[in-house]
Structure formats: C-alpha cells, structure tokens
Structure 1
Amino acid sequence: MDQSIRDYGPAAPHGPNMTGQHDAQDLRSDMSPNEVSVFHSILHPDDIYDENGTYWADLPMGKRVAFVGKIDAQEARDEAKSIWTMFKNDPLSPVGFYLKNMVVPGAGLLLEGYVLFSIGNVRPLLQAGFGSCWKTFETCDEIWTQAIDYLEICGIIVGQILVGVVGDWLGRRWGLIQDAVIMFVGLLMLTAAWGVTENGWVICYVWSLFFYGIGVGGEYPMTATSGMENAVGSGKVSTKQDRLHRGRKVTSAFLMQGWGQFANQVILILLLLVFHHGSGNPPYSKVAVQWTYRVSFAIPAVGTLWLVYFRYYKMKSASKQLMISKKKSHVTGYDTRSLKLTLTHFGPRLLATAGAWFANDVFFYGNKLFQNQFIAVLTPNNKSVMVSWLYNLINVGVSLVGYYLASFLIDNKLYGRKWMMIVGFMADFILFVVPAFKYEFFTRPENIHAFQAMYFLSSFFNQFGPNSVTFLVAAEVFPTPIRATAHGFSAAVGKLGALLAAVLYNYISTQQKFYVVPWFGLAGAVLTFLFLPDTTGLDLKEQERRFSYIRSGREEHYHGIAVHPKHLSLWERIRGVGKHYDAKLDYESKINEMRVEWVESQERKFTEKPNQALDDDDDVYPEHVNKYFSRTTTDLPTQRPMMEPMNEKSSRDAGSSNASDELKISKEE
C-alpha cells in the first residue's frame, strides 16, 4: 500500500502508537513472554539474526563468518536429510524434484540456448557444404550472410524491451506464453527456410532468425522475474527459502541455457554422423548438410510446442506477486509512477546492471558467435567440422561447471553476487589481456595448450561470474512493478554489446579481438564495484517494504536492512542513502505496520465480507500476534465491537502459509 503507516486514531494506552517514535523496548514492556518470543521469531528470523537480534552484517567479522558458516552448514544438512528421505521413499523422486524446480522453470532458456548458439555451430557446416554461398560469396551476398549475427541480436533486443514492458503491464504469465508461441513459430520458419535462389534462402533464414530472436529476448525478463517472484510466496511474512536460496533458484533456471548449448552440439554431431554415412570428415554433401541443420531445428520445435501448453495450462499463478503489488498501489495497467520513482532513486543501479551486461556480452556473445575462429587457432590446418565441434563441446562442458558453481555460491553471504561478478570480470580481463600482448608466443605449437587453457578458463569465469549474476541482479535490485522492464532494458543494453562484437569481429583479426575485449572486463568490474548493491541474503519483501516508503514520499522514515550499508552500492553509501538505518526504530516500525495490516484484514473480514474467508493475500498472523493486537488496539472505528482474535486452528493455518520457515508455535503456548 502507498501509505506504509496509516492513522487510525489514538494509539492504545500501552501499545505502540502510529508515529514510529517509541523505543522498541517500550513495545516489549506491554507484551507477555510468549508474545515477545513470537514477535522476535517473526521479526528476527534466525537465518539472518543471531540470538540477540543482531543482524548478521552488523556482527564483527569473526562472528559474522562463524554465523554464516553455521547457518549454511545447517541448511546443507537439512537439505541432505530431505534428499535422503525422498530417495528412501522413491529413488527417482530427487530427480523429479530437480526437473520440476530447476529444469522446467528454465525450459525456455534451454530451448533458446539450443537454437541461439547453434548459429555459430551451423555456420562452419554451411560454409563447408555451400562454399559458393557462405564462404566465397559467389552466389550469395556477403552482407546478408553477416546480417545473420546482426539481425539475430536485433530481434533479441526488440523482444527484451517489448516483452519486458508487456510482462509488467499484462503480467508475467502472458509474457511467458507469448515468448513460447513466438519461438515455436520462429523454429518452424527456420526449419522450412528456403528460396528460389541460394541468396533468397539466406535472406529467409536471416529474417526467420530475427523473428525467433524476439521470443528469445522475452525469455530473459520473464524467466528471471517469474522464477524470482514464485520463490517468495504470497504471505506478508518473509520466507527463509527466499533469503537463502533465491539466487540459486533463478540461476538454476538460467544455467539450462548452458545445457541447451551442450544438447545442440551433441545433436549436431549425431545428426552429421547419421546423414553423412557415419563419418564426420569432409567433403560434406549438400543433402547431408541440409538434413543435419534442418532436423536440428525441428527437434526443439517439439519441445517449444510443449512449453506453450505448459505455460498456458500449468502456470496460471505466474503473475500473482505482480498483481498483489499493483493491488496495494491501486494501479491497473502499467505502473508509470513506479518507473519514474525507479529512475529517480535507482538510476545508478540501472547503470550498473545495464553497463555490466553490456561489458559481459562483448565477451560472451563474441566468443559464441565466432568460436570457430578461436578454435581454428587451437587446431591449425584442420578441415573437419567435427573436430571443431568436439573442441566446442569441451568448452561448453567447462562453461557448465562455471554455471553450477555460480548457482552453488551465489547465495553465500561472504561471497555472493557482487564479488562473484567482480572476480569473474577481472579473471576474464587477465585471461584475455595476457595472450593479447603475447599472441605469437601462445599460438606456437609448443605453447598452444596454454592458450587453450586460458580460452576455456575464460568461459568458466564468464559463467562463474558476470553472465550468471547479471541475469539475476538485473531483476533483483528493482521494485516488483517495473522489475521486468528494468531487466529487459538491462538485457537489451547487454545485447548492444553482443551487436558490437558481431559487427567489430567481422573486421578485425583474432589477435586484435584479444586487444579489444579485455578492457570491457575491466570496465564491467569498475561499474559493478561502484554502482551495484549486494543483495545477497536480503529478502525481496524487505526491498518492497522500502519501496512502499519511497512511493509514499517517506523514504527517510524507512530504517530497515534494505538500506544497511552491506546492501547498498559504494555510490549509494557515499550519497548517504544508508544514514537512516536503525535496527531499533525498524523493529518498532515493523510492529506498527503489522498492526495496520491486521486492522485492515479485520475490517475486510467483518465488514466487506463477513461470511467469507480471507483472501490468500489478506494479512493473517499467528495466534499470539492476533491476541496482542486485539488487546492493545483501541483505534478501530467505534461503531464496531472489538474483533476477537482468530482461533487456534486458523492461526496455525495462517502460519503454515505465511511464516512456516520462521515460526514454530507449540500447542503449549
């Protein structure tokens, strides 16, 4: 709601007033021991606060390391026990759990990764089978063959901006469905692309790829925002899973892009062996080339058609968090006010997410689109497409290790998003700048393995760093109403980096590429260090709470952990954004906000719909919270009697949906 704290009249004589001026200890003086315990459990969850109610980032370094290690170790043990229990009940259930929670949410990225990065794989095959068109350009226009790289990226940019806006306007679900439909039609076009002349075929192929790219672009903001928001839940009380595993959940979906690349390379190898009579060696017939690349596009079309079905019939609640946010702000349609506030208050963050993504994509897409040129350095005098494909398969395998390690460590509070991105950028900078100035030395036959190691390591650190982190933080550091827009814009600016690489790499040599690329890694590290906040371990709902204060024009009254120096960028700290952080005042403010939400829920329950159960998004709290508010709140409209607290059963039911991770209330209490 716009007003985080509303005035319901005079406060209870001994309860908290609505001005946010009482010391937190004063609130506790009016509570029973059980009530104090319950409020402490809700407002000081034990995964981010110690037993004294001190936030983990406020602890001295030694205690901070010990606290984080203890929480992570306990969570790892709990997860191991859960997996073992599933395995004992059904040996395949852990696999089913992984497929449901990691693979299916990232299915769109798996399919787009398969197709998108197949372009770099298919090009050498087309050059080998249709040399007069794709290599010597006797029958085809060279500009159109180069336009494949340009228009593919342009289509992605269009999709990222367009679907990002649609996702915030109409909802995540319709954006997801739209992406899947566009990708399916685009795959049919790619599979059937042909022309009266070979040049006409190229033109048809290029525009089919542009159309497909629109769907690919939309996958970025939709997968990131829906995956992130679906992990949060609908209750007012924040979830432990969101804080501890939000990054892993989103990057586990994102890493399916790597599996898409891997699957594409394996399938291309198998198809070429099938259609080229069991051999991967040249010369390649036009028939073998045609069947190989067309069938490779037809296979993901089947998976994409399933994706259309799944998103339409099985993801009906994908837009729930966005709708809740809009309902609180009384907004229908696109929230232009939130967009303006975001540009005003979070502009430097947008510079960080968009600028870092731009720098990253010069690395990432440049390497993928022109990987055959890099691999040619590793395999001089090689004429076989199969050899290049096998080297690329190794490179993708190394990248997958980086994806998984990023997913494993991205939620670690002592390392997390920001340091992972800085280290990844700096590693890529070093791994490109070293061979740039010693190119002849590292490309000699006796030193080629060192060159190969650096090239493969650059792929590893690109995934275990900026490529994974940018996908996450570009949605995470912005408010819900414009999250997809901000992510789509950041990703689109990133694709301008890919476009720069696609254009530039056509006109410079391989060594010159090594001269140019490293500095983007350095620039990305600097942008990240200056302007990107570290949101590792910070609850998404806490960020939404801060934004509600900003939206109501009361930013200075927010004292919570979203403005803790740990969760602000260097630029924001220099500007004094964190000067209002105060743990005691924040504790009091949260109780006051809970009181207001409780009052509103009681009003809805007893006036607007007295014979109906509360909606899923109505505010319900555990029994002792209800008793406390019922006893101390005297500022309700006088024409209605004081509401009775919820009974024990409804209290427990509410707690199971809203606070099950933070709060366990025994029957004795």
Structure 2
Amino acid sequence: MADYGIAAPHGPDMSGRHPSMVNPHFSMNEDEARVFSQLLKPDDSYDENGVYWADLGWFKRAKFVAKTDGAEGKRELGNLWQMIKKDPLSPVSFYFRNMVLPGAGLGLEGYVLFSIGNLKPLFQKGFPSCWGTKAGQGEACSPTWLAAIEYMEIVGIIFGQIGVGIVGDWLGRRWGLIQDATIMFLGLSMWGVTLNGWIICYVWALFFYGVGVGGEYPMTATSGMENAVGSGKISTKEDRLHRGRKVTSAFLMQGWGQFFNQVILILLLLIFHHGSGNPSYSKIAVQWTFRVSFAIPAVGTLWLVYYRTYKMRSASRQLQLQKKKSNVTGYDTQSLKMTFTHFGGRVLATAGAWFMNDVFFYGNKLFQSEFISVVTSNSTSIMPGWLYNLINVGVSLCGYYLASFLIDNKLYGRKNMQTVGFMMDFILFVIPAFNLEYYTSAAHIKEFQTMYFLSSFFNQFGPNSVTFLTAAEVYPTAVRATAHGFSAAVGKLGALTAAVLYNYIDTQTKFYVVPWFGLAGVVLSVVFLPDTTGLDLKEQERRWAFIRAGRGHEYHGVAVNPKHLSLWERMRGLGKQYDPELDYAQRVQEMRAEWEVLMQDKVDEKAGALDQADWDDLDHEFSHEVQEYFKKTSKSPALAGQERQAPLNGQGLDDSDGTIDEKRAV
C-alpha cells in the first residue's frame, strides 16, 4: 500500500493562497471545514474565528484566556463537587494517585538529599571530636572526607542524570524508574566501626544514592509529561491546558520531602533526647535520630520498587510508538545529533539556566545552617535553626504550588515565570550583599529574614520549577530523557560549584557572588528559552518528524509560531515558516493518511481485523463525521462501503510481529 506518511505532507488548500499545493481531486466546503475544525482547531486554543490564541492581539488574547480558563476551572470544580458528593474522600485519593505517586521518587530524594544541611549542625554538636565547630576541625575524622560529604552526592547525581537519561531513551522510561528506586534503596545502607570509617561509608552511600536520585529527574519529568499526552496522534485537552501542572505537581513532592524530613528530625530528636531540643546532645540520641530518619525513606523506597515494577507497565508507551514511527530499535543516535544541531540554543537555555539556578538552590539548601545562623547567632541549640528552616520550606512550598497553578496560564506561563524568578532572586540577594551588616543588625533582622524567605519563594515560583519542566518539554520524545538528564547534570555542576566554593568563602562573600548568577539566568531565559506554554506537545513531535526527515522548512504549524520560539530562533528566521492556512491543509492530508492506514488494516488479508484497542483509538482520533467524510473521499477503492468489523469472540489479532502497531505508529 502507498505510504501516506510525512513523505507527502502537502494536502488541499482551503484558502486558495497556495494553488500549487491544491489537490485537484479534493475540495472542502464550509460543512467539511467545520468537521475538521473540531479536531484541528479545538476551542481551548482557537477563538470562534479559528484564530490561534498566540496570533490574537493582547486584549483579545487576555479575553480569550480568561474565558477558556474560566470555563475549564468551572468544569474542574464541577467534577470535584461530583466527586465529593459521591465520596468525600475521593479528592484525596485522586490527588494521591495523580500527583503524589508520580512524584514519590522526588519526594524521597528531597527527604534524603536535603537532610545533609539539617543533620550537619546536629553532628557537629554530637560528635565534636569528629566534626568540631566547623567541619574539618575535629581530630578523629579526616577533613577531606568530611568535605566530601557535601559534594560526592552531587557527583553521584550527575552520573545518574546522564547515565539514566540515556537508559530511559534506550531501554524505556519504566526500566529507568525501576532502576532509580532500586539504587536509592541500596544507597540508604551505611555503617562503620570507627567515626572516620562511618564518615567514609556515609560519603559513598550518599554517592551511590545520588546516582539513583539523578535518574529520578529525567525519568519523572518525561514519564509524567508523556502520560498527560495520551496514546493517539491527536493531542488531548489535558495536555494543552494542564501538562505543566501535571509535571510541576509531581516535582513539588521534592518540597514535601524536605518538609517531612525537617518535621521528622525535630520529632525524633525530642523523642530520643528526653523531650528536649536543647544541648548538650548525647551520641546515642544523635545516632538514633539519624538512623531512624534514614530508615523511614528506606521503607518508602522499597515500596516504590514494587509499585514501579508492577503498576507502571505502560510508562514507556509514547517512546515505543515514536521509535516505531522512526524505525529505530535501539538508541536514536540520529535524533540526538540532530537535537544539538537544530536545538542548540535550547540546550544552552535549559542547561545554562539550570546551572545558574542550582547555585542559588543548592547553595541555600546545602549550607542553610550558615545562612540561618545569621538570624540565630545567640542560640546554642539547633532547634531555632531547624524551625527557621521549616518556615523556609513552607514558604518554598507556597512557591511550588503557585508555580503549578500559573505555569500553564497563557498570559504568564513558563518563560515569564523563569525570567521573573531569576530577576527577583537577583534583587533579593544583591540588596543585602552590599549592606549585610546593616540588614543583620538587631534593628533590621526582620527585613533580612523577609528577603531570605522571599528568595526561596521566587526560586520555586520561577527557575527551579520551570527548568525541571522545560528541560524535557522543548525536546523530541526520542531523546527527551537524555536532554533532560544532560541539562540537569549541567545544573548540578552549579550545585557542585556552590558546594566547593562555599567551603572557602564566608557568608558576606556568598552574598557578593550569588546575585550575578541570577542576572545571568535572566539573560539566558530571555534570549534562548522558547515559550512552550499552551503549545500542543504532539505538534512539537510533528515538527520534529519533518526535521528528522530533512524537511524542516516544509513545516508551517504552531510549533514555529513566533510566540513559541526563543528570541534566538526568531532572529534566525524560523518564525517566517509559520503559515496557519497551509498548515491546516497539511494536517487534513496527514489525518487522511493515518485513517487510510487503519482502514487498510481492516481489509488487509494479513491483518483480517483490528483488535478492540485499535478501534477505540480510531474512535478517539476521528469523530464519526470525519470518518464518514474520509469514506466518501477515500483514495482506496478497497475501502469503499466497508463497515466496521468487530473482533471475533472478543479476541484481538495476533500482533506478535508488530505489523498493526507499526502501521498505527506511522
């Protein structure tokens, strides 16, 4: 049968603007245009005149977004109310299923990873012969190994992000998710005969755990994003309106991990220190507090291994379909090479901005005890510092949730959120940097605290959430995990920079150094980051199919709308390819090609009949009106007058050779 795939993208012209593209055997009247508009111009992205939302003037765009978001909000509230009436606890189970479980790995990662900054002052108080008042001053432990605690885990994370990212694109998302959970579980075991031996074991355990942590980033981002898309060719409303929220809601579990770690440490210290949080702290109390706090995530991680093994069997479906479409069986090295060729500016944006962000983020978290000590300088107890950190994490969680609420808003969205967040962090650090003594004085300490907490808020309601999303979103499915892992690894080099540098400079110098990374993040965001807010993810895949076929200049869809391109890409002229009317004609032709492939399966002697899943996908992709239209204008006489043929005895076809699935993926 003829190949109706991307090799022949041009279809009928509904406007008459491109006579050379017109199919002489095909025309479309107003009723036919209405049929296709249902699928090709959904009302959440196009106004009543069929104009894409990004092509509207600012006032009309604001009105359209308010109307669309208002209707969607009303629908979701209505669904919530129906759930509550049926079962008052059902919203809790819904949130747990759709937000908590997808981000469970990051929650456990946040719990363990940021425990280092929380435990450091406790170890210093409980083991002065090892830690001393500052790491490295004790006589019982090696200063080199003590310093390694704070950066070896980051090195492990970098290994995991790159390695597991490649595995996720090679073997699949599900395998990467299982591997991550297993590695993290094994990495939570540590012991030692002497204090220094325990420190060495602690370092290597955190390194090994970090490998699993690193893999969580690309696996959680890609699997969460692709699960929101659906299995068909036509994208879903959920993807267009809530893709960012879905991914960010999983990512914010990292914040809850930090929160619960701090709460549990406070409770455990009170339990094992006879109900008091005041010094002096016995070695037994410190050890029990530390050990039990690490046993809790070990149990959770073991359960995560089970859940991902037996409950996430379809996590790799989107990747498998894309590989079949591209006729790739292993790792798609061609797509990787072409990604750096065609999306080099995006790599610079996602990796560079993540580097700048992590100097802020990990600098604060790994060394938060030093920052908070400025406002608790008169206390010898670790409790005030822990309580201040708990407030700081609570403020960060507010930033996470506000980010998930606004990240899909077409008037604000990803790019603005990241740019504003970087700018606010720059301002909130540069103000005290040049007058730190003034702001840390007793008369102005409240202003200093406010700026510190606000910097945490805007870090989450900005670059920390956006970098996690866009590092997967702006790349094709075939190399999405690799690109995300690479960007995250470059980001962790920023964390490593902070971990090493902050060991040698005082608090005042930290404030001199940090602000400029925020300003650099603003520049990278403005120049190189495309704004994918409201962009259909499958439309990006469609553009990538043209690029991979060496015909990127023939793509004219919304993925090259100037709104969805970076300043760098617009300067290179990519936005000039955008032509909504010609693209509409192309999409109709592509829909026809896919429909005819499915219909040909129906009459093909080898196939015989499609299974129920194939027919369900067909009904989802093409409305009854569209199917009737294609029947009337079909190019294949063999399809004329054919009626739907249900599977025999409820059984589908034997597709062991992948024939049907391969055709569906074309």
TM-score using structure 2 length = 0.92
SS at match of 2:102: helix
* Partners of 2:11 and 2:201 in 1: CA distance: 71
What letter corresponds to residue 624 of structure 2 in structure 1? E
Instruction: Work out whether residues 564 and 581 of structure 1, in 8 Å CA contact, stay in contact via their aligned partners in 2.
Output: yes
- Sort the Cα spacing of 1:561 and 1:164 in 2 relative to 1 into closer, same or farther, 3 A: same
What letter corresponds to residue 149 of structure 1 in structure 2? E
1:294-309 pair list within 5 angstroms: 294-309=291-306
What letter corresponds to residue 283 of structure 1 in structure 2? S
Residue number among 44, 48, 51 corresponding to 2:45 in the alignment = 48
Q: Tell me if 1:460 matches 2:461.
A: no
Residue number among 502, 512, 515 corresponding to 2:512 in the alignment = 515
Residue number among 208, 213, 233 corresponding to 2:210 in the alignment = 213
What letter corresponds to residue 358 of structure 2 in structure 1? D
* Partners of 1:221 and 1:642 in 2: CA distance: 44
* Partners of 2:30 and 2:64 in 1: CA distance: 29
What letter corresponds to residue 603 of structure 1 in structure 2? Q
What letter corresponds to residue 178 of structure 2 in structure 1? I
* Partners of 1:645 and 1:457 in 2: CA distance: 65
Residue number among 347, 354, 359 corresponding to 1:357 in the alignment = 354
What letter corresponds to residue 179 of structure 1 in structure 2? D
Q: Tell me if 1:483 matches 2:480.
A: yes
* Partners of 1:151 and 1:315 in 2: CA distance: 31
* Partners of 2:213 and 2:641 in 1: CA distance: 53
- Sort the Cα spacing of 1:23 and 1:57 in 2 relative to 1 into closer, same or farther, 3 A: farther
1:218-275 Cα distance to aligned partner (Å, 9 max, x none): 0000000000000000111110110000000000000000000000000000000000
Q: Which position in structure 1 is the counterpart of 2:575?
A: 578
Q: Which position in structure 2 is the counterpart of 1:659?
A: none
Residue number among 362, 366, 385 corresponding to 2:363 in the alignment = 366
- Sort the Cα spacing of 1:522 and 1:367 in 2 relative to 1 into closer, same or farther, 3 A: same
Residue number among 499, 511, 521 corresponding to 1:502 in the alignment = 499
* Partners of 2:454 and 2:87 in 1: CA distance: 38
Q: 1:642 Cα shift? A: 3.0
What letter corresponds to residue 163 of structure 1 in structure 2? V
1:147-204 Cα distance to aligned partner (Å, 9 max, x none): 01110100000000000000000000000000000011111x1xxx232321111001
Instruction: Work out whether residues 20 and 589 of structure 1, in 8 Å CA contact, stay in contact via their aligned partners in 2.
Output: no
More deviation, 380-389/625-634? 625-634
Q: Which position in structure 1 is the counterpart of 2:77?
A: 80
Residue number among 629, 638, 641 corresponding to 1:641 in the alignment = 638
Q: 1:643 Cα shift? A: 3.8
1:443-474 Cα distance to aligned partner (Å, 9 max, x none): 11111111111000000000000000000000
1:54-92 Cα distance to aligned partner (Å, 9 max, x none): 001111111111001110111111111110110011000
- Sort the Cα spacing of 1:649 and 1:434 in 2 relative to 1 into closer, same or farther, 3 A: farther
Q: Which position in structure 2 is the counterpart of 1:175?
A: 176
Q: Tell me if 1:609 matches 2:610.
A: no
Q: 1:4 Cα shift? A: 4.2
Q: Which position in structure 2 is the counterpart of 1:658?
A: none
Q: Which position in structure 2 is the counterpart of 1:380?
A: 377
Q: Tell me if 1:403 matches 2:400.
A: yes
Q: 1:590 Cα shift? A: 0.2
* Partners of 2:522 and 2:3 in 1: CA distance: 36
- Sort the Cα spacing of 1:276 and 1:345 in 2 relative to 1 into closer, same or farther, 3 A: same
Q: Which position in structure 2 is the counterpart of 1:57?
A: 54
SS at match of 1:111: helix
* Partners of 1:456 and 1:528 in 2: CA distance: 23
- Sort the Cα spacing of 1:27 and 1:301 in 2 relative to 1 into closer, same or farther, 3 A: farther
Q: Which position in structure 1 is the counterpart of 2:633?
A: 632
What letter corresponds to residue 465 of structure 1 in structure 2? G
SS at match of 2:106: helix
Q: 1:5 Cα shift? A: 3.2
* Partners of 2:11 and 2:323 in 1: CA distance: 29
Q: 1:605 Cα shift? A: 2.5
TM-score using structure 1 length = 0.92
Q: 1:387 Cα shift? A: 1.2
Q: 1:630 Cα shift? A: 2.1
Aligned Cα root-mean-square deviation (Å)? 2.3
Q: Which position in structure 1 is the counterpart of 2:98?
A: 101
Instruction: Work out whether residues 164 and 222 of structure 1, in 8 Å CA contact, stay in contact via their aligned partners in 2.
Output: yes
* Partners of 2:11 and 2:206 in 1: CA distance: 64
* Partners of 1:452 and 1:15 in 2: CA distance: 61
Q: 1:23 Cα shift? A: 6.0
Instruction: Work out whether residues 247 and 472 of structure 1, in 8 Å CA contact, stay in contact via their aligned partners in 2.
Output: yes
1:196-216 Cα distance to aligned partner (Å, 9 max, x none): 321111001000000000000
Q: Tell me if 1:256 matches 2:257.
A: no
* Partners of 1:400 and 1:27 in 2: CA distance: 59
* Partners of 2:499 and 2:582 in 1: CA distance: 53
Q: 1:625 Cα shift? A: 1.6
- Sort the Cα spacing of 1:309 and 1:397 in 2 relative to 1 into closer, same or farther, 3 A: same
- Sort the Cα spacing of 1:15 and 1:605 in 2 relative to 1 into closer, same or farther, 3 A: farther
Instruction: Work out whether residues 443 and 451 of structure 1, in 8 Å CA contact, stay in contact via their aligned partners in 2.
Output: yes
* Partners of 1:623 and 1:566 in 2: CA distance: 34
Residue number among 597, 621, 631 corresponding to 1:600 in the alignment = 597
Q: 1:425 Cα shift? A: 0.1
Q: Which position in structure 2 is the counterpart of 1:330?
A: 327
Residue number among 231, 252, 271 corresponding to 1:274 in the alignment = 271
* Partners of 2:456 and 2:37 in 1: CA distance: 46
What letter corresponds to residue 610 of structure 2 in structure 1? Q
Instruction: Work out whether residues 601 and 618 of structure 1, in 8 Å CA contact, stay in contact via their aligned partners in 2.
Output: no
- Which runs of 5 or more structure 2 residues have no equivalent in the other structure? 648-666
* Partners of 1:6 and 1:498 in 2: CA distance: 45
* Partners of 2:398 and 2:11 in 1: CA distance: 57
- Sort the Cα spacing of 1:464 and 1:234 in 2 relative to 1 into closer, same or farther, 3 A: same
Q: Which position in structure 2 is the counterpart of 1:71?
A: 68
* Partners of 1:98 and 1:389 in 2: CA distance: 29
* Partners of 1:206 and 1:21 in 2: CA distance: 67
Q: 1:31 Cα shift? A: 4.5
- Which runs of 5 or more structure 1 residues have no equivalent in the other structure? 651-669
What letter corresponds to residue 446 of structure 1 in structure 2? A
Instruction: Work out whether residues 5 and 592 of structure 1, in 8 Å CA contact, stay in contact via their aligned partners in 2.
Output: no
* Partners of 2:8 and 2:482 in 1: CA distance: 34
1:603-653 Cα distance to aligned partner (Å, 9 max, x none): 22321311332654965522222222222233x3xxx62343555999xxx
Instruction: Work out whether residues 2 and 548 of structure 1, in 8 Å CA contact, stay in contact via their aligned partners in 2.
Output: no
Identity of aligned residues (%): 68
- Sort the Cα spacing of 1:115 and 1:481 in 2 relative to 1 into closer, same or farther, 3 A: same
Q: Which position in structure 1 is the counterpart of 2:157?
A: 156
1:376-428 Cα distance to aligned partner (Å, 9 max, x none): 00111211011110110000000000000000000000000000000000000
Q: Tell me if 1:393 matches 2:390.
A: yes
Instruction: Work out whether residues 267 and 296 of structure 1, in 8 Å CA contact, stay in contact via their aligned partners in 2.
Output: yes
Q: 1:574 Cα shift? A: 0.4
- Sort the Cα spacing of 1:575 and 1:614 in 2 relative to 1 into closer, same or farther, 3 A: farther
Q: Which position in structure 1 is the counterpart of 2:87?
A: 90
1:528-607 pair list within 5 angstroms: 528-607=525-604
What letter corresponds to residue 49 of structure 2 in structure 1? N
1:319-359 Cα distance to aligned partner (Å, 9 max, x none): 00000100100101100011011111001100000000000
* Partners of 1:272 and 1:62 in 2: CA distance: 57
Q: 1:143 Cα shift? A: 1.2
- Sort the Cα spacing of 1:200 and 1:527 in 2 relative to 1 into closer, same or farther, 3 A: same
SS at match of 1:445: coil
Q: Tell me if 1:223 matches 2:224.
A: no
- Sort the Cα spacing of 1:30 and 1:451 in 2 relative to 1 into closer, same or farther, 3 A: closer
1:30-68 Cα distance to aligned partner (Å, 9 max, x none): 4572x3322011110000101111001111111111001
